[in-house]
Structure 1
């Protein structure tokens, strides 16, 4: 079943949640692995390598709240509750542990984590609910979207391996 949740571009085709990482195109799997390897160091500075792998920097806020030229690691630290990037690292690891969706918009295909941000299905149990809450920035805990769901932080990677965004809903 393919669904188009509210707020998506008309014409987006969004897959059901996918948990099998083997279906990811090789470039998507490579950048995901690089991002996770950087997180394993425990140092947000290590994310500079996968960030710089792109020709253009991933977006860290939908609203464009950060000026062009701002250091990406400083942005990630500023977005992190602890101001050191530890929350950012924990979020990325939690997000990539979730199922993802494939979003097709015209000729463009994007892979987005976590799938629950696009699908309004309730968690199956308490453990799944806790796993979902780990994908929400501390600053977003008190906010919810129009459907009453938490503002989950999302990661989007194009089929060609370009890391497009790491942001929570505005």
Structure 2
């Protein structure tokens, strides 16, 4: 059952958390696999290939904190606590290991990781809990998806600011950012 939830644009329809990667459209699965393969190298520079797959580059900050034309790898390094991109690689791997949600916004469909960035802090019912959302594991997973620089901050609900990845149904990587 889809729900309209806080954290989205008015009119967004957001699915419950999904763990079955077979439910992803083929273009989404392909770009996710490319991003993860780049992360497996351990070199943030390898992310240039999936970034450049898009006609336009993914957004790395909601607020436009980086000026146009800035090298995307330099942005990812700047966002990483170690300034070398290792934190970025670790975040991406942690985020993609989590359940995702399908977001329908008018004619646009996005797939966003991690699902808990759009859902209440604890599983809503036993069905969600049985979908690998056991409380201790769920809480631990949340912290792995938070940038070191964002640890002292929390959102209006008191939850940590999770970093999110959004990919459209056509396989375009839209964003990799931390919620404001």
Which TM-score band applies after superposition, normalised by the shorter structure? Answer: over 0.9
Deviating above 6 A after TM superposition, structure 1's stretches of 4 or more consecutive aligned residues are: none
Q: CA RMSD in A?
A: 0.9
Structure 2 unaligned spans of 5+: 123-132
- The separation in 2 between residues aligned to 1:87 and 1:55, in whole angstroms, is 26
Q: Kindly report which structure 2 residues correspond to 1:104-143, keeping only aligned pairs within 5 A, or say none.
A: 104-122=104-122, 124-143=134-153
**TM-score after normalising by structure 1:** 0.97
| Correspondence for 2:27 | 27
Offset of residue 124 of structure 1:
2.7
Offset of residue 3 of structure 1:
2.1
| Correspondence for 2:130 | none
- The separation in 2 between residues aligned to 1:71 and 1:121, in whole angstroms, is 35
Offset of residue 10 of structure 1:
1.1
**TM-score after normalising by structure 2:** 0.92
Structure 1 unaligned spans of 5+: none
Offset of residue 129 of structure 1:
1.2
Q: How many residues align?
A: 170
Offset of residue 46 of structure 1:
0.1
- Tell me, yes or no, if structure 1 residue 52 matches structure 2 residue 52: yes
- The separation in 2 between residues aligned to 1:140 and 1:121, in whole angstroms, is 17
- The separation in 2 between residues aligned to 1:121 and 1:84, in whole angstroms, is 31
